[in-house]
Amino acid sequence: MKAAVESAKGYRRLIPSLTALVEFEAVARLRSFTNAAAELGVTQAAVSRQVRLLEDMLAVRLLDRLHRNLMLTKEGEALYSVVSESMGRIAGVFDRLATGIGEEELVIGATAAFSHFRLMSSVGELKRDRPNLRVRLSTTMFTADLSHNEVDAVVRFGNGNWNDGTSYLMFEEQVTAVCSPQFLEKNKTPQSLSELMTCSLISDDPTSEGWLTWEKWFRALGERPGKLNYGLLTSLYTDAVQAARDGQGVVLGWNRLLHKHLASGELVSVTDASLPMRDAYYVVIPHGRSITPTIQALIELLRQEAGIA
């Protein structure tokens, strides 16, 4: 008993303010005193005071306060890493205890298109292998965000260099022009990229999910597109693909996303022209957390379902 009391006293001596740690974590994660204060429901001055308390206590600078930005120092990164991981674990236990569920939970973020075409089926397979696994999907229009504590991992398309987490490569991508077999039966198969420009093209809004445009695709393949024949414009890539499956025209096919549709013959390539993308798909784990066996299993399932052995 005496040893336990002395141990508790020791922890309180080394960590005298859990409030300061909670508020520092919010500032470090959001890179803003104002946003941290809003999230925590306190004043900006109170948050600033708690962070200053930690700095005075440790006799180190945790944040570089720039004109319009905050940057973690080396010491700040070290503290944030362990605090973020610890708070994430504590929050997970509280959530399971509060809901009365003793199962493992995985919270993963992705764009709507990746979630629709790749993630849903892989999650279903993962849950079949892990009956006690509970999954929460956080679907976003833009690049999935890691600024929320509850997110265990996100899927991103890019160069793999992000400063808010550790990236694990899943697979690369290439983009071709695809349509349904029925569309080709009713329309002349284009013999060149120039002829493809005259086909009924389906396009989605590139600002919503960052997709490649037809104009950029043609230019990257050495063509100078004039006025393209757009038969349908959509806001979401998922709608554009559905329209192509219905035989309404030709869409840019992201081959890893549409692997099942292409493998089954539901969608087919219109030409041999294919554009390899410089970027790739990654699973990104927030700093302060490690890749778990469940996330590793999900990555392997995603790779398999994208046609990668």
Question: What's the pLDDT at 104?
Answer: 77
Angle CA 24–27–33, to nearest 5: 120
pLDDT one-digit tens code per residue, 259-299: 999 999 999 999 999 999 999 999 999 887 788 899 999 99
pTM for this prediction: 0.66
Return the axis-axis angle of helices 120-129 and 293-305, rounded to nearest 10°: 130
Other CB atoms within 10 A of residue 56 CB: 9
Question: What's the pLDDT at 286?
Answer: 86
Question: What's the pLDDT at 275?
Answer: 96
Long-range Cβ contacts of 120-125 (<8 Å, 24+ apart): 121/260, 121/305, 122/298, 122/301, 122/302, 122/305, 123/298, 125/301, 125/305
Do 114 and 209 meet the contact criterion of CB atoms below 8 Å apart?
no
Task: Measure the CA–CA gap between 240 and 303, rounded to whole angstroms.
Answer: 24
For the chain, which ranges sit under pLDDT 50?
1-8, 208-209
| 254 strand-pairing partners | 175
Ordered domains of the chain (ranges, CATH): 2-98 (1.10.10.10), 104-171+281-305 (3.40.190.10), 173-277 (3.40.190.10)
Question: What's the pLDDT at 309?
Answer: 60
